[in-house]
Amino acid sequence: MIELIPIIAIGLFTGFLSGLLGVGGGVVMVPLMSLFLGIEQHLAQGISMLVIIPTSLAAIWQLHKKKLVDYQSAALFAVGAIVGAVLSSNFVQYISGADLKKIFGIFIIYSGTRMILGKKKIKPVEKNA
Amino acid sequence: MNSIMKKIATGFGVGVLSGLLGVGGGVFMVPIMVGWFGFTQHVAQATSLAMIIPTAFFSSIVYSLHGSVDLKIAMVLAAGSMFSAALGSRVMTRLPAATLKQLFGVMLVVVGIRMVIA
């Protein structure tokens, strides 16, 4: 039932991006899982959440040794993020995310383009705080 | 104190957004850490990973309670991703900040396009 090779390949690809770019990798993993493994969106998100934990741990070891991790800031951001995510996931059924997603998608494209072009000041992508 | 509140508030805003949009916090956090908090690209990315661990831990608990997790697939994925994540972060420490920023920018554009189209 489970095809090992494509799953491992997806893991290898997202893990590398995660370590290289400092993101969880869910953004890549979820669409790849639905595309190549036929896993439905909600289950793919649940799986990706779980995979992100050991992946980040493996990546962070190198960065920890190079003293690149600001643990205090990470803890503060995480406290806020956990509360925020819990709140929004309980309200997400009342708000349609579709339009919001398009608006933020445009913001993200804009800030990504600025990063590629190497402008000095990067505009913040959101002002929700 | 002020900076502590600012960081918690920023995390909160990003948490609300990522819950709403289904996009991980790192996509928002790295540019914010660089743009608002003056972190270097390397420290921002490393700190983003450290922040993701507890956040994903709590989200996994929520997902597990709803029963939508497949442990077998997760373990096979993790076997591959842990190996290459160690490699990816090793490459990351050797890249200059400007290159890293450009690579991150490419990822943002791809993610953004997906958000607009999907």
Taking the Cβ of residue B49 and every Cβ of chain A, the question of whether any pair is shorter than 8 Å is answered with yes
Is the model's pLDDT at A127 over the cut of 60?
Answer: no
The interface residues of chain B toward chain A in range 7-26, judged by CB-CB distance below 8 A, are 7-26
Taking the Cβ of residue B96 and every Cβ of chain A, the question of whether any pair is shorter than 8 Å is answered with no
A-chain residues near B55 (CB < 8 A):
78, 81-82, 85
Q: What's the complex ipTM?
A: 0.90
**Of A16 and B22, more confident:** A16
Taking the Cβ of residue B51 and every Cβ of chain A, the question of whether any pair is shorter than 8 Å is answered with yes
Please indicate whether, in this complex, the C-beta atoms of B53 and A53 are within 8 angstroms of each other.
yes
pLDDT of A129: 43
What is the domain range of residue B85? 2-117
Lowest mean pLDDT among A42-51, A53-62, A64-73, B61-70: B61-70
pLDDT of A123: 52
Three-state DSSP at A69 gives: coil
Please indicate whether, in this complex, the C-beta atoms of B91 and A60 are within 8 angstroms of each other.
no
pLDDT one-digit tens code per residue, A58-117: 999 989 999 999 999 999 999 999 999 888 777 655 666 677 788 888 988 988 999 899
A47 → closest Cβ in B69, B116, B118: B69
Note if the pTM is more than 0.90.
no
Taking the Cβ of residue B97 and every Cβ of chain A, the question of whether any pair is shorter than 8 Å is answered with no
pLDDT of B18: 81
Q: How far is A9 from chain B (nearest CA, A)?
A: 7
Six token digits for residue B59: 């989200």
Q: What is the mean pLDDT of chain B?
A: 90
pLDDT one-digit tens code per residue, A102-121: 888 898 898 899 989 985 55
Q: How many whole angstroms separate alpha carbon A43 and alpha carbon A21?
A: 25
Length of chain B equals 118
pLDDT of A92: 59
Q: How far is A33 from chain B (nearest CA, A)?
A: 10
pLDDT of A96: 63
Task: Summarize the confidence of residues B10-28 as an average pLDDT.
Answer: 84
Which 8-state DSSP code applies to residue A25?
S
Number of domains in chain B: 1
- Please report which confidence band the pLDDT of residue B76 belongs to, taking 50, 70 and 90 as the band edges: very high
Three-state DSSP at A119 gives: coil
